[in-house]
Structure 1
Amino acid sequence: MFSIPTTENSLHLLSDVRRGQWFVHDYESLLPVALSFLGGEKIAGAIPRLAFEFYAAEAQAQFTATETGSKAQQVAVIPITGTITKYDSCFTYGAITYARAITAMANNPEIGAIVLDIDSGGGAGNAIAPLKEAIHRVQALGKPIIAHVDRCASLAYWAASQCDAIFCDNPLSDVGSIGGLCQIVDDIGKLEKDGYTVITVYADESADKNLDYRMALEGDTSLLKKNLSYNVAQFHKDVKAGRPDIKEDAAGVFTGAMFHPAEAQALGLINGVMTLTECIENAAIRAQYNH
């Protein structure tokens, strides 16, 4: 069992909830919890997290001996579950912690391959960079890294698409939702109702500061959409690079649809269906070939 220290940053999550870009599926189902969080209410399941734990598995397929010794290498299994934020919060681990775990296993000579065990509807747009960097670090060191997924949507799929392969766990798994949304929370009315008066003053020289947010409050979301489209374009670019056989012109693939395994495999979103145990074996075999 391995352990990575965590650092909670719930203030950053507050900022993301209020006015962040999100690459997440079924966002509406998360909104009531997000609003309760903003209101300072106690949320069921919100607990302090002191460490992130994951494990290494022995595969039946034996690794070839390394140059430094004959000890068989293992496959690290790193779970990525729930909504992915950049930092740890009282709800979930963050991408920074996941990236630290991935990087630690990339640098560990006893680890020959990595399986990301993903069950996530996606997360905040600012969470993808550390995950991509860590996955590419593994690949640069010549170690296989594959994704075993159940639900793998939006930002979670963005991360999985950078791995060497993606395997759904079972016929009811689903992947996709390649797209993004932006939200802002206008709580001025509530503040005024509670007796607060909010006065915001911008310098004459700062006409463009927070302009997208201010325009949206006035009903014009065009600038927010423009900024969101920039990041969605990067999402598409990364998926095409990581999944070169994806059927990008097929209906729904790049417009946010979700797919079950049979259709997802036909469209190039995944490589097939495997249990976690089978993925561990697959990763071990890939490591043998890499040697």
Structure 2
Amino acid sequence: MTSALHALTAEPWAIRPDYLHFMASLASLDRAGRADRRAAEGEDWFRLDLQAAAGPTAQRLDGARYAMLTREGVAVIPIVGPIFPRANMMTEMSGTGASTAMLARDLALARDSADVGAIMLLVDSPGGSPTGINALADQLYALRGVKRVVAHVSGSAASAAYWIASSAGELVTDKTGMLGSIGVVAALSKQVEPDATGSLSIEIVSSNAPNKRPDPQSEDGAGQVRALLDGIEAQFIADVARGRKTTPARVRSDFGAGGMKVGADAVAAGMADRVRTQDATLKDLSRTAANERAVRATRR
């Protein structure tokens, strides 16, 4: 296991487990080479993707990191790639992933902007760190009755990404959209043989902190790790149940049990409201935004 993967798996993740290996490969990229390639391209991939999604006349929302504003007044905010608490090398250098802090800021800007009549979250993410996700879910939930927010799943809304999307006022998906992966995972390593250099790492924990380094191969150690994960999962399930107007018991029984559901199956389970194309969602929200602008004009 690489040092990058060691670092990534040192804490719980609300993500598809296989995606940790992909992120480790990104973390191992040469920073200078990556930066040079981006400079040659001239634009980061978020802007290019959103320009196509929001339309040729859309512009960056004033002060926003990710959000684009359409001519009709729809703020399009991407939740694309792995999610991290803050901007880091992966979000800034590789152009892959989103920052929870930046998403929260963009959402607040869209909420407060008089130019924004509706908000579309464009979701295609395997999930990420659970840090800050509960607060972002609360922020989204508080927008109900303030501005119309629709989360549109164009690819996947897995784990932390579904945690966020489920708190939007409406959740719609493409026919092939994949939703779910509700749960939390931790991948702990334990060195049992010398490495390639002949070294064997040994950790000694202070006398009164045995739980700092639980042995994942022992029943007690695995139980300690699972208790931590279960605590995070309980909040995850509670937020999903609130957002989807159901009970935690139904989330546990009907929302995939850690697996994913596709399109119409996700709607039938109550995980989403309807199947619809991304273009249809944007046109619907454009009508909402136009109506909001008309209402504001009459109040002047």
Normalising by structure 1, we get a TM-score of 0.74
- Structure 1 position 152 matched with structure 2 position 183: no
Bigger helix fraction: 2
For structure 1, which segment, 215-224 or 105-114, has the greater mean C-alpha deviation from structure 2 after superposition? 215-224
- Structure 1 position 87 matched with structure 2 position 100: no
Mapped contact 1:106–1:137 kept (Cα < 8 A): no
User: Which of 176, 183, 187 is the equivalent residue of 2:187?
Assistant: 183
Mapped contact 2:6–2:189 kept (Cα < 8 A): no
Q: Whole-Å Cα distance in 2 between the matches of residues 81 and 127 of structure 1?
A: 16
- Structure 1 position 231 matched with structure 2 position 244: no
CA deviations over 1:222-281 (Å, ceiling 9, x no partner): 110111111111111111100015792785515112112212112211111222332233
Mapped contact 2:254–2:269 kept (Cα < 8 A): no
Closer, same or farther: CA 187–146 of 1 in aligned 2, 3 Å = farther
Q: Whole-Å Cα distance in 2 between the matches of residues 260 and 19 of structure 1?
A: 31
RMSD value, Cα: 3.5
User: Which of 5, 10, 13 is the equivalent residue of 1:19?
Assistant: 10
The answer for unaligned runs of 5 or more in structure 2 is: 39-43, 47-63, 91-96, 296-300
Closer, same or farther: CA 17–250 of 1 in aligned 2, 3 Å = closer
Q: Corresponding residue for 2:22?
A: 33
Kindly state the Cα deviation for residue 18 of structure 1 after the two structures are TM-superposed: 2.9
The answer for unaligned runs of 5 or more in structure 1 is: 1-10, 60-73
Closer, same or farther: CA 224–272 of 1 in aligned 2, 3 Å = same
CA deviations over 1:126-149 (Å, ceiling 9, x no partner): 141342244245447x11211011
Q: Whole-Å Cα distance in 2 between the matches of residues 24 and 78 of structure 1?
A: 20
Mapped contact 1:77–1:114 kept (Cα < 8 A): yes
What secondary structure is seen at the aligned counterpart in 2 of 1:125? coil
What secondary structure is seen at the aligned counterpart in 1 of 2:108? helix
The residue correspondences of 1:102-181 to structure 2 (distance < 5 A) are: 102-136=107-141, 138-139=143-144, 142-150=146-154, 151-169=156-174, 171-181=175-185
Identity of aligned residues (%): 24
Aligned residues: 257
Q: Whole-Å Cα distance in 2 between the matches of residues 126 and 166 of structure 1?
A: 22
What secondary structure is seen at the aligned counterpart in 2 of 1:21? coil
- Structure 1 position 260 matched with structure 2 position 262: yes
What secondary structure is seen at the aligned counterpart in 2 of 1:255? coil
Kindly state the Cα deviation for residue 167 of structure 1 after the two structures are TM-superposed: 0.8
Greater RCO, CA 8 A, separation 6+: 1
Q: Whole-Å Cα distance in 1 between the matches of residues 288 and 250 of structure 2?
A: 27
